[in-house]
Structure 1
Amino acid sequence: MAMVAAQSKGFRADINGLRAWAVVAVVLYHFGVPGLQGGFVGVDVFFVISGYLMTGIILSALQAGHFSLGQFYWARARRIVPALLVLCAVLLLAGWFVLLSEEYQTLGRHVRDSLLFTSNLRYLKESGYFDSGAHEKWLLHTWSLSVEWQFYLLLPLVLLALWRLFSDRRALFLGLLAMFAGSLLWCVILTARQPEAAFFVLTARAWELLAGSLVFLLAGVLGLSDLLRRRLSWLGLGLIVMAVLGYSPETSWPGWRALLPVCGAGLVLLAQRSNSRWTTSGVAQWMGDRSYSLYLWHWPVVVALAYLELLASPAWIAAGIGLSLLLGHASYQLVEVTSRRALAQADWRRGLVALLGGVLVVTLAAQWVRKAELPGRLPEAVREIEAFGQAGNPRREECLEAGAECVYGGPRLRAIVLGDSHADAVVTAVAASLPTPADGLLFKGESGCLIMQGARPLDDDADCLALNRWVAEQLPQTLPGQPVILINRLASYAFGGLPGEEDNPVDRPRVYFQARYARPTEAFRAEFRAAYLATACRISRSHPLYLLRPIPEMPLNVPVTLARARLRGESREVKLPIEAYRQRQAFLWGVQDEAVERCGARILDPLPYLCDQQECLGSMQGLPLYIDDDHLNEQGGRRLMPLFEPLFRKTD
């Protein structure tokens, strides 16, 4: 075990340089630099480095007979917490001036979870890292810190138990190897079944950190020649570069593909080359020293550029990278170095009280921000926009559920509104179009559910399947002869979402029939068309069927875009070119037209009420017509009342 102690002592320039490679890959990837779409693997490299170093620290202390669990945790806390604490405090302060109400409350929740090192679990609930909506989350990158901290809590306990049981290198290696294999297997399985969970949870990531542990143990017994070390170092860096250049956000991740950068990092660590120009140059050492602070500060800069809609500008990207370097350097010098010296020299009890006090203050502030309404923080004009944006169907939570049967209006039911969240968004406008207060309608809906015979959600959502069974089995006997208004966001199910939508990738169907399709191919379109027509004709046999043309989908979140602009003192409207609408909806309009010819369905066209000859309106006079990018708010829905009123006059 003599080699264990030898390796853990002293500064390793090659490790510091490897940190530089990792942080550069992550930073350039997050800023969207072309050709580096796999730069997210830098986080995996960091995991391997952490496992290697922590294992060395723990085993060296165990061998010397003076390992202290408390001292280990204290050393990790004073290394990680101060810079993170300052970042969180700065974001809370800046957010007071520049964030909207919901955004600021969300930041408070994320600050709290980041400082408690549970943010990976928070972001798992919100999913997901590769979505464009991730640019709304100022502390998304702290998920990796949470994974590492959770690993730090468990690793010394595992090594301490193995050491006391065996005190043997081979037993330690075999024990860690078994855990490595189990975690890797679980990661592969989970990536196929629940990729978001595989990305964020420790159990699916532990193998990457344990890879570093295994490399540390191997390095203590392998006698490698200089030539072999050189070749291993080159091979390792080559594998990392291959991953950075060859992978992309569309790559199934992490899974077995993460072996490429993990093995690359492991080989560089195993080589232990202290004279490689690629890892020990002055630039690499400068970046490596500041890698933690660079990692912390670069992501808020990325989010700020996205917030200001500047992330597509090469000049602003270059400026953002420069600002990240400046902030990282300042954080390293003013926070990391200063706090490390102060906490190392102070009595550990006083240092612990100071650090915990700081965490407590910022965490309580974050919790206050998360809960407080703070009505006077924003200008009145911004609050008005927010109020319009939040004015959706007040009965959404009650009624947008497959098992619910909600009646809007009076007891004399004159129609059935059927569909998904787009139906929920306009059902109040349909109800307001009824001729008398005694008239009412039945609403049946489920969020994200396409009403279509034989269509299955990609996640086989049981509630959606149940709603479609109700349509097939119960609808024919429910208010026969009364109109059915069918409303779905058809383009989303056929062609995926728009850029910026979380959990709804562009150009990827959200449903399947006989086979799953990664793209809306001609074969998929044929299945979609046949199922839509079959559904329309079946409903038409017992009810007059009205098909609402798709509601225009805006290119931006309308209320957020308007409110942010107003907060900056700007006036803005959100619009969609009518030609863009027609291009996205052409296939679906054709299918609906065929349902008119074959099944006797009738068309309800919202475009005359939401669009002119050139554009569809997302806002009017600076106020939103939508609650997001594709759901109408109450004001937008009420514009459709003249569309629905003639329907009921025909049935009087």
Structure 2
Amino acid sequence: MQAKEYRSDIDVLRAIAVLAVIFYHAHIPFFRGGFVGVSIFFVISGYLITGIIKRKLADGTFSFLEFYENRVRRIFPALFAMVFCIVLFEWVTSVNILERREVFSSAKRVLLTVPNIYFYLHTNYFDPAAETLPLLHTWSLGVEEQFYFVFPLLLFILNIYIYIKKISGIKIVHVLSALFLLSFIFSAVFVFYDQKFTFYMLPARAWELLCGSLLAYTGWTPKEQKHKLFCFFLGIVLMFGTIIGYADVVYPGFYALFPCLGAVLYIAGGTRLQSVFADTLTKNKVLVFIGVISYSLYLWHWPVLVYYQNWLYRRDIDFAGGCVLLAVIFLVSVFSWRFIEKPVRQKPIFKKHGVLWFGVVCSFALILLFINNLKFTLSFDDGFAYTKRELPAEYEADNSAHSILLIGDSHSGHLRPLMRELGEKYRVSSTNVNIMPYRTYTFDGSIADRKNIGKSFDKFREKTETTRFDTAVIAYRYDYYINGVDIPRKNSVARFSLKSLDFESEDPLEVLYFGLKETISLLRKNGVETIYLVGPAPQAAGYVPASANKLSGLFGLSTDRINGILGESAAAYQERTKEITALLKKLTGEFPHVYFLDPTPYLLNPQKTAYDVVRGKTALYWDDDHFSEEGALLLTPLFEPIFASLQE
């Protein structure tokens, strides 16, 4: 099994992988685990690349120059075209220099073949904010490119060593097996300490590529056709089981084994498989063609989705929108394959070493120079501005006799400017403690973090026991812990919903209720008489300052039109928060001196149909769900009576 003959079944496997990724990113139902498609791609790459290197080493025709030229022809032309289009688009349309700088910085790392390292240092793949980064998906290309740098040299050295020492070729399999085990064990263990590293970096992903390498080197395939067919369909079951079933899993780590094993069984079983039943799948012309253009599909699908969501402010992709998006993705991808990928790989002129490398170097240099020398930035004298200050968590007022405890996540933190201003006016100190509702957590894969959860609650309890607080204010981004998304999407599911340290429950709303109840009980036990529960904040349809400036500067829309596009409607807010609001009001009925604070009236538009995100030339949010300082100060009438009452 040398991977030299054309196999339509592998193109179908590519189609399965790329469609899984696209449907996952588009939030299509039943594809919650579509991110495993990248692992399937890794297995395919490892299998094909190893087969090529093994065959050429065996017949003495292997050339590093030829190998890397083929990789360059395969990867860089379409990649460079996609990067250039994104850079050009950002240059023409970006009104926020920080937003543009983020895209340009990631573009440089793509050109330098280290995007995975860049994104490891700057973002989490599963964060909602990641959906604003049009080059995020190139992290997987970084992993493959780094593998291509190392792996051929490893096999070449092993072959030389074996030739000199006259050792049987099976030793290469032993070395690859050892590397596979080391990488797999590292990934399975380290994912609980640093999930981002294991997701983005080659040492933790190498074993997925080595799955295919081991298959290519052993040449394993069942002898009998019925066993081939069994392996083939078992592989499909494993892959689709993970594509459909994976959601709340710590990935990659151990869970990546199953889609990789499925891909291995599919390839091994499909080797010289003779089955009319299997042929209906592996010779399907539509799937084969999708596999043929899968690289361009992978390159272009993510930017199209990102710009759809961040330019049209559509966080829900309905059926009609999904069909249009898929059509656009396929059209762009077919164009990329037909006029960029295919000619560079097949035209005789690009077979010439000089032409190929000259083209690559010129393209690389031109894009890099383009990025580094773009000075033009769209700016508007009357653009929307906002203030975001990083205020300390504790404020000690002069001659203060009273203190307020502010508890919550970042949705308590964005109230600090309001607490500071009122604290200065009424000489009231405040302390903001960033902590989950008592004895609850969202497990994000880190054992170290989970071990510290109990300690953090112990410190919180000690603080309430040793420090006198007159009043407590509790504010959370409640729906994130219930739904797992920043803005509700019909087809999204929480990756890590709220859990309790003390009891098992599949209902995060129930966990939230008991967590808040325990928090209130702890505060009351330690002398905090009055407690306020702040209701959920309205959420915008995009990052407000950048989006508002685009809509105003590029399209000339008025403030009212911008609020209409970006602001959450009152009906949508009520539907999104009805369970949470009912829960908070239930708690006010169960405890004396516990009150509900509703922030929404202060953001409601004059028609009382939606919530404003901009007023005048001021952005009330600094992203899509956190108040700017100006937005927080709009709640002064809501919070001022709390401070004033402490002076009575």
1:316-355 matched pairs, under 5 angstroms: 316-341=321-346, 345=350, 347-348=352-353, 351-355=356-360
Q: 1:294 aligns with which of 294, 297, 313?
A: 297
CA contact (8 A) 1:184 1:204 kept: yes
Code of the residue aligned with 1:199 in structure 2: it is: F
Inter-partner Cα distance in structure 1 for 2:600 and 2:635 = 9
The equivalences for 1:171-570 within 5 A come to 171-219=171-219, 224-225=223-224, 228-244=227-243, 246-270=244-268, 271-273=270-272, 276-307=279-310, 308-310=312-314, 312-341=317-346, 345=350, 347-348=352-353, 351-366=356-371, 376-380=377-381, 383-384=383-384, 387-388=385-386, 391-392=387-388, 394-396=389-391, 399-400=392-393, 405-407=394-396, 415-420=403-408, 421-433=410-422, 440-447=427-434, 449-450=435-436, 458=443, 460=449, 472-473=461-462, 483-489=470-476, 491=478, 495=482, 498-500=485-487, 506=494, 510=498, 512-515=500-503, 517=505, 519-520=507-508, 522=510, 525-540=513-528, 545=530, 547=532, 549-554=534-539, 556-557=541-542, 559=544, 562-566=548-552, 567-570=554-557
User: Is residue 165 from structure 1 mapped to residue 161 from structure 2 by the alignment?
Assistant: yes
2:47 corresponds to:
52
Aligned mates of 2:543, 2:161 — CA distance in 1: 62
Q: CA deviation digits over 1:127-173, x for unaligned, max 9?
A: 54345544322122212211111211221132223223335331111
Deviation at 1:84, TM superposition (A): 0.4
Q: Is the 8 A contact 1:432 1:641 kept in 2?
A: no
Paired amino acid for 2:357: L
Q: Secondary structure at the match of 1:444?
A: strand
Q: Which runs of 5+ in 1 are unaligned?
A: none
- Which whole-Å CA distance do the structure 2 matches of 1:462 and 1:99 have between them? 43
Q: 1:72 to 1:473 in 2, by over 3 A?
A: same
Is 1:67 the counterpart of 2:62? The answer is: yes
Letter in 2 for 1:312: I
Q: In structure 1, what is the equivalent of residue 72 of structure 2?
A: 77
Query: What per-residue deviation string (whole Å, max 9, x for no partner) do you get for residues 533-564 of structure 1?
Result: 22234142xxx645353352426346155445
CA, structure 1 residues 430+178, in 2 after alignment: closer, same or farther (shift >3 Å)?
A: closer
CA–CA distance in structure 2, aligned partners of residues 205 and 602 of structure 1: 50
Aligned-pair distance for 1:576? 4.8
Task: Kindly provide the amino acid, as one letter, of the partner of residue 355 in structure 1.
Answer: V
Aligned residues: 615
Against the structure 1 CA distance between its residues 78 and 411, is the aligned structure 2 distance closer, same or farther, given a 3 Å change threshold?
A: farther
Task: Give the superposition deviation at 1:200.
Answer: 2.5
Distance 1:122 1:604, change over 3 A: same
More off after superposition, 24-33 vs 487-496: 487-496
Please tell me whether the aligned partners of residues 120 and 143 of structure 1 are also in contact (alpha carbons under 8 angstroms): yes
Decide whether the 8 Å contact of 1:14 with 1:273 is kept in 2.
no
**Structure 1 residues 280 and 454, CA, compared in 2 at 3 Å: closer, same or farther?**
closer
Q: Report the secondary structure of 1:589's partner residue.
A: helix
Change (3 A) 1:10 1:616: closer
Alpha-carbon distance change, 532 to 457 in structure 1, aligned in 2, over 3 angstroms: farther
Which letter does structure 2 place at the counterpart of 1:362?
I
Residues 266/467 of structure 1: CA separation in 2 closer, same or farther (3 Å cut) = closer
The DSSP-based 3-state class of the residue aligned with 1:617 is coil
Distance 1:39 1:509 in 2: 19
Contact conserved, 2:15 with 2:288, CA < 8 A, in 1? yes
> Larger deviation: 580-589 or 512-521?
512-521
Distance 1:511 1:176, change over 3 A: same
In 2, Cα distance between equivalents of 1:33 and 1:497: 16
Distance 1:476 1:14, change over 3 A: closer
Match for residue 111 of structure 1 among 99, 107, 115: 107
Q: C-alpha separation between the residues in 2 aligned to 1:36 and 1:465?
A: 35
| CA distance in structure 1 between the partners assigned to 2:332 and 2:325 by the alignment | 10
Indicate conservation of the 8 Å contact 1:618/1:624, yes or no. no
CA-based RMSD:
3.8
CA deviation digits over 1:11-60, x for unaligned, max 9? 34433343233333333443344444444333222211111111122222
How far 1:461 sits from its partner (Å)?
A: 7.6
- The change in CA–CA distance for 1:119 and 1:521 in structure 2 (over 3 A counts) is same
Encode CA deviations 1:93-135: one digit per residue, 9 max, x unaligned.
Answer: 1122344524322222222222223222333345543455443
Q: TM-score, normalised by structure 1?
A: 0.81
Tell me: CA distance 1:132–1:64, structure 2 relative to 1, closer, same or farther (3 Å).
same
Distance (Å, rounded) in 2 between the aligned partners of 1:34 and 1:97: 35
Structure 1 contact 496–506 (Cα < 8 Å) conserved: yes
Q: Give 3-state SS (helix, strand or coil) of 1:236's partner.
A: helix
TM-score calculated relative to the size of structure 2: 0.82
For 1:551 and 1:301, locate their aligned partners in 2 and report how far apart those are by CA, in whole Å. Answer: 31
Separation in structure 2 between the aligned mates of residue 28 and residue 606 of structure 1, nearest angstrom: 36
Q: Contact 2:247–2:493 at 8 Å: present in 1 too?
A: no
Per-residue deviation, 1:92 = 1.0
C-alpha distance in structure 2 between counterparts of 1:366 and 1:517, whole Å: 51
Q: Distance in 1 between matches of 2:175 and 2:364?
A: 36
* Deviation sequence 1:63-91 (CA, Å, 0-9, x none): 23343334423321232111101100001
Q: 1:71 to 1:513 in 2, by over 3 A?
A: same
- Secondary structure of the 2:414 match is helix
Aligned CA distance change for structure 1 residues 603 and 483 (closer, same or farther; 3 Å): farther
- 1:97 maps to amino acid: V
Residue type of the alignment partner of 2:291: G
Question: What does residue 156 of structure 1 align with?
Answer: 152
C-alpha contact 1:28 1:39 (8 A) present in aligned 2: yes
Distance 1:37 1:475 in 2: 41
**Could you say if the C-alpha distance between residues 572 and 214 of structure 1 is closer, same or farther in structure 2, counting changes exceeding 3 Å?**
same
Unpaired stretches in structure 2, ≥5 consecutive residues: none
Partner of 2:415, secondary structure, is: helix
Residues 626/285 of structure 1: CA separation in 2 closer, same or farther (3 Å cut)? closer
Moved more, 194-203 or 460-469: 460-469
Structure 1 distance, partners of 2:210, 2:59, is 22
Distance in 2 of aligned mates of 1:561 and 1:576 = 17
